[in-house]
Each structure stands twice: as structure tokens, then as C-alpha cells.
Structure 1
């Protein structure tokens, strides 16, 4: 999608149309064989690029939705072409140092990619454990309707189990990355919680498809999609033709919007999540929310 004319048309339509660049997107671009072609359109609109800080940092940002969006942004790089663009331009001119530096970046990206692929080796067991949490009736409903349905059209039983699984995943991830649990008043806007929502929507769709799991490489790509979908819930959407990615994003966005309609316990640790159970009804480009009028 980075080299697609739809992206150029979107950016050319208005100077207020911007693209959010995540670290996972940067990793994918760095591995591309034809790096210059992937950066060409973005290089033509440097002032409309909004690079984000690494996901490791963004998992820790707290506050209101606007404060978290602001905290995600790498403000020192906003409006600048950045190192990659400069290196590509110099390399095209035959600069040996730039060519060497690009080769180093691509090697590092390839190593990181292999590490992430190795990490997905735990997904089959996770898939089995999550599948076991759903009743036979839930599984039957999933395999009959989930492929083209939405989270909002689930039966109450399936909604409640999905809510429980999201809460359990969030508790585990907060403990892993924070070493503690957030207040319920913080929860809905936090990256880790939204990632837990997107991941469980993705897992639900995988369960609905039945059959054997795809290869580790495909699963690795899917984990990137979950990351993209999570970030997209903070902005205006994703410019992509990938139906699986769009399914995860749209249902995660819907789930989060429904979660915002009820008022959970406003104080205390996230273990109070049980109060909320059952009460929730019903290469991609991120598009940032358009500026609000003053």
C-alpha cells in the first residue's frame, strides 16, 4: 500500500491528510527489496507524516485519548524526511557510506523479523487454550456466523466469554509490561487493553475458520496486523485492502466504542474488571484523526 496510488491521492487531496508511521511499519519497509519505491510517495509529502515512538514506549502512555495520541508521537521527527529517506536518496547517488548504512539497517530488520517469527511459535498453544474457553454452542455460533459477522451481533454467551478473555489477556499483558494493573478509569484508552481487544477479535476469527493453523510466517504477519489494528483504533482508520486486517480493526473499534458507553468502577485495580463482564453490547496505512476546529 505504501507504493499504491490510493495513498498518493489521499495525501494530495489535502495538506491536512496525514499518515501515521508505526515502528512495525518501519520494520516491514526496511525489509523491502525495493526500499526506494516503498518510500517514494511518502518522501513527496514529508510534512504530512506523523511518526510514532516505539511500541515499547507507547504501551506505557496513560491519560485521556488526546493525551495518549500526543504521547505516541515522536515530535522531533514530525515534518522531517528522516534518516531512511536521506539514506535512500544518497544511496541512489552512489554514496558508498549510505549504501553500507542501508544494508546494515536492512540486516537488523531481517534479524528482528526472524526473532518475531520465532516468538510466534507459542501461538498454537495459545490458540488451543483460548479455543477451550468457548462452549460447544459458542464454537458452533462462531463457525456459522463469525466469518462475515461482527462482534456486536454475538449472542450474550459469546460476548461474555470474549469479554472475559479480553480481560484475562489484558491483566496478563499489564503484569508482563507494567508489573502492576491500571485503574479502571484509565483502562479503555490504554494501548495494552486495546491490543488485548484486537488480539482476541483476531483469535475469534481464526477459531471460526476451523482447520489447521497457518504457518509461523503467516502468524507473524497476523501479529503485525493486530498491532496495526490496535493503533488504528486511536486514529481515523487504515488504508488497506487486507480483509483480515480490516475485520480485526473494524470489530475492535466497534467493541471499544461500546465499552465506552458504560461507566465501570472508577477507582481500584483492574481486577475490578469482573464488574464489567457481560455488559459490553452487541503493508497498511494508518489515517490520523482530522484536526478539530477550535
Structure 2
């Protein structure tokens, strides 16, 4: 199960891991960045308060850039998303944070380096957020009529034309992203495309657009908030590769549910999927 930053210290996570040694907590790279950006030893100590007790059950994913270049439709490629030999590192971090070495100058310098790396990565998210934020109103206008927007806002049944717009827009975004990462998307099998991280992220962007429309198409001013939404979206996408997604964020939970439904619909019949209520 993929774990959102909001649940890293939760009793739900502890109970999940305690329930069976087969239960694994999957942590994306941004889960660590969100902690490191706080720039305190206490934040790292808190991060390890649960996972530090279950190091063998923690899976840490590689960076999004690495995962985006994988063909996740091939056998064994899912494991290629994951970092290896994580348990000893988590165990060592927990030992350091629980002992006198947590204030060692060398340890503090290592943490500062991690904080700096997190700051750079998170700053990069702002740039991408601005592009997506400014395009949402235009995307909405091009994809849907006024009647269709009312349908989205009132939880009505989507028409075949709406599904065509949703999946068509997702494919256009996917092709653009794939080109940027140098992927040979034109020669990919349909199943491989459906498994590609960038395709699922592209479809996730459209799911995010639907949420935005459903909640009244609010004015987009807070870039930092949109950046956080995009981080949540990456967690949501990772959740579709594993057995669920644990989060305290209502929007992220909605996006995960509907991205999962949309992917299933794309595998079967697109007309069977209707977005669930946003409230």
C-alpha cells in the first residue's frame, strides 16, 4: 500500500504493518522530501516513529524521473520502481535518531544535504504547477460544453462524447510527456501504454481537472497549493500499481478512486465509468 505523507505517523499505518509481515508500506520519493523540507531533526525523528519499527516492511520508490522511463508493462518492471536494500538504511536512521548521534555534526550535515536536495526538487514542482494551473480553464473550455460541465458538477452520467474527450486529452498529454522523456510511445503496445507511469499521470491530470470543475472551477492563484496537489497526484498514480493508497486528504482519496476506475474502464468499456461524488 502506498502511504501519503499525512499518514506516516498514523495509528492506521502501525496497525497495517503490525497486522502481517506481508503488509508492505510503499513510500514515494516525495514522502521523504516533504519531511526533509521542514529542516528539523525532530521531523526526521517523527518520520521514523512508525516505519522505524518495521524496516523490513518498507519499500522506497526510486525518483519519478527514473520510474517515468520504465516500461511497466513488462514482467518484473514493477520491481524496477523500487530501491534495493532499504531496510538496513532505515534501521540505521532509526538507531541514529533514537540515540545521542542525532546531534552529531556529521549527521546534521548529511541532513542539511538532504534538505537542500528536497528544496531543489520541490522548487522544480512549482514550475510544472504553473503550466498546469494556467491551462486548466482552457482545457475545460475546449473539452466540455456548458451542458457537460453541468453534468460533471451534478454527478450526472457521462456521455460517450465526454469519455472520448477525457481519454483523448489524456492521450495527448501522455504523448507530450513521453516525447519529453524520450519514450518510443508510438511503438508501445496498448497494455504497455496503460501501465506506463506517464500515461497514468496524464490521465490523473484529467481526473484532477474533473475535481476542479466539480468544485466550481475556483480561481487558481495559490501555486504552492497546486504544487502540493501535483505531489499528491504522483502518490495517487503510484497507488494504482500497489494494493491501495492510505491518505488523510479527501481530494487525493477521490483522485485515487477515480483514476483507478478510469484505468479499469479503459481496459474494459469506457462508458462504464462515472466519476464519484466530490463531496
User: Shorter-chain-normalised TM-score: which range?
Assistant: 0.7 to 0.9
Partner in structure 2 of residue 139 of structure 1 = 149
Does structure 2 retain, via aligned residues, the 8 Å contact 1:46–1:81? yes
Does structure 1 retain, via aligned residues, the 8 Å contact 2:73–2:193? no
- Residue 27 (structure 2) pairs with residue 21 (structure 1): yes
Q: Deviations over 1:168-208 (max 9, x none)?
A: 11111111112532333421111111111111101111122
- Count of residue correspondences: 260
| Aligned counterparts of 2:159 and 2:141: Cα–Cα separation in 1 | 18
Partner in structure 1 of residue 160 of structure 2 = 156
Structure 1 residues 52 and 83: CA distance shift in structure 2, 3 A: farther
The gaps in structure 2 that reach 5 residues or longer are 1-6, 274-279
TM-fit CA distance, 1:228: 0.5
- Residue 17 (structure 2) pairs with residue 7 (structure 1): no
Partner in structure 1 of residue 3 of structure 2 = none
| Aligned counterparts of 1:16 and 1:125: Cα–Cα separation in 2 | 43
Partner in structure 1 of residue 276 of structure 2 = none
Does structure 2 retain, via aligned residues, the 8 Å contact 1:19–1:48? yes
Q: 1:242 aligns with which of 240, 244, 249?
A: 249
Q: 1:180 aligns with which of 179, 184, 187?
A: 184
The gaps in structure 1 that reach 5 residues or longer are 147-152, 263-278, 283-294
Does structure 1 retain, via aligned residues, the 8 Å contact 2:158–2:271? no
1:214-293 counterparts in 2 under 5 A? 214-261=221-268, 279=270, 281-282=272-273
Structure 1 residues 281 and 9: CA distance shift in structure 2, 3 A: same
- Residue 104 (structure 2) pairs with residue 98 (structure 1): no
TM-fit CA distance, 1:118: 3.5
Partner in structure 2 of residue 202 of structure 1 = 208
Q: TM-score, normalised by structure 1?
A: 0.81
TM-fit CA distance, 1:222: 0.4
Q: 1:74 aligns with which of 83, 99, 110?
A: 83
